[in-house]
Structure 1
Amino acid sequence: MVLTSLHSEQDAATNPPSLGAPLTLSGYREFFGAGTGVSPWPPLINSLTASVASTLLVLVLAIPAAYALSIKPVRKWSDVLFFFLSTKMLPVVAGLLPIYLIAQNAGMLDDIWLLVILYTSMNLPIAVWMMRSFLGEVPKEILEAASLDGASLPTTLVRIVAPVAAPGIAATALISFIFSWNELLFARVLTGVVAGTAPVFLTGFVTSQGLFLAKVCAAAVCISIPVLVAGFAAQDKLVQGLSLGAVK
C-alpha cells in the first residue's frame, strides 16, 4: 500500500505491479487538496473527535460495570454478561433503518455527537468483557486495605483500581479507538458534509471515472497513521494488557 501510494496512477494500475517504477508524491499532494481544493482535515478532525470522545465514554462506563461484575459481583452477573454479549449478535445493518429514523426525528443527522453515542454503545459490550477479565486480576487484599482506610468507591476506582489495571485499560481504550476510527457504515449513512469521517472521505476517491489506486493508497496510508501512532505509543501496556491473566 505504501509503495503503491508513491507511484503514479499509470504505474499503480499495471498488472503485474511495477515495483521499480519512479516514485512520486502526487497522490499525497492530491489527498491534501493540492489542485482539488478539497481538504481532508475536517473529516480527520471528525474521526478524531468521535473516536476519542466515545473511547473516553466507554472507559467511564465500562470500568464501574466491570468492577461490579468482577470485584463486587452483582446477583446473576453471568446473565448480565450474556446480555451485554447478545447486543453484538444483531447485524449492524439490521438496526440501521430505525437508528436513521430516530436520528432524523431527533434532528441529529449529520451530527458528530450522534456518532459518539453510537460508537460508545457499539464498543461498550466488548469493553465490559475485556475490563472484567483485567479487573479480576486486581489483588483483593489491596481493595480490602483501601476499604479499611475508609476509601469511597470513586476513590478506589481512580486511585487504586485504575493504576493497577492500567495495561488492561490501555488495551481496551486502543481497541475501542480502532473500532471507532475504522467504522464506515454508520458514518456513511448518518452523516453528510458536516460530520463526515475519514473512512467516508476515503470512499470519495472511488468515482464514476474509476478507481484511482495511487490516490486511494495515499489516503489509506494517511488515515492509518493515527491508529499506528496510538498503537506504537501504547505498545508496552498493550502487550501487558492483552496477556494479563493468560499465565497464572
Structure 2
Amino acid sequence: MWTIQSDKRFYLLSVVLLVAIFAITLIQNIIRYSGHSSYNIWVSIFYLCVSVLLFIPFIILIVQIEKWIKSNYPKWYWALFLPLAAVGLFTFYLISNLVLHSFGYFDHYVDLEYARYYFGREALYHLLLILGSAVYVFTSKKKIQTIEVNKGRKVITLAVEQVHWIEADGHYLNFYTDSEVFIKRERLGVLTKQLEPDFIRIHRKFAVNKSQIQSKEKDKRNEYVILNSGKKLKIGQSFKPIIW
C-alpha cells in the first residue's frame, strides 16, 4: 500500500493541470471562434469537459494499474508502460467519442474528425500526465505494514503500528511495544528510511513512531521526546530540531 497522503497530492496536481488545460483551451477557442455565428460557448465547455476533464478518473485507474505492474512485474515496468499508455489513450478516445456521440455531437460512434482533434492535441497532454504518473509510481516507496522480528528463536510478524520506538543495540535492533520487546538484526539507519514517514530518527540509537510522540522536553542543554507511555528518550545533537 502506498502512502495515501502522497497519492492525494499527485491526484490534486493532476486535477489542477487538467483544469488549467481546460481553461487555456477554452480561452483559445473563444478568441478563435467567438466571431463565428455558429459558435456556442456552452457547447465548447461541454466538449472540453468530455475531451479533457473526463480523463481525471482515467488517470486514477492508470495509477492503480501502474502500481500493480510495479508490484508484480518490477523488471518489466517501463516496457509495459508503453502499451499501457497506448491502450489508455485509445480507450479514452473511444469512451469520450461515445459520450459525445450519445449527446448528438457526432453521427458515428467513431468520428475521424474527433480523432484528428484528440490525437492532435489533447492526447499529448494526457500522455505527459500518464508519463508523470509512471515516474511518480516508479519513485514511490511502498509503505511497510509489517516487519519480521524475533522473540527468542521464534520469528514473529509484527504490525509496524504496534512499535513505539526502536533502539539500536550493537548489530541488533530492539523493538518496544506496549508490553514486549522484540529483536531484529538490522541497521537503524536503513530501517528508519524504510519506515518513513511514520518513524523519525531522533538519536543515533533511537527511532520513534511519530504517532507515539506526546511532547518534547528540555532539561538544561538536553532535549527529550516524551512518548504517550511516559517513556523519555534523548534527542541527539545532530538530529535537532525534531519536527513531527
TM-score w.r.t. the length of structure 2 is 0.27
Greater per-residue strand proportion: 2
TM-score w.r.t. the length of structure 1 is 0.26
Higher RCO (Cα < 8 Å, 6 or more apart): 1
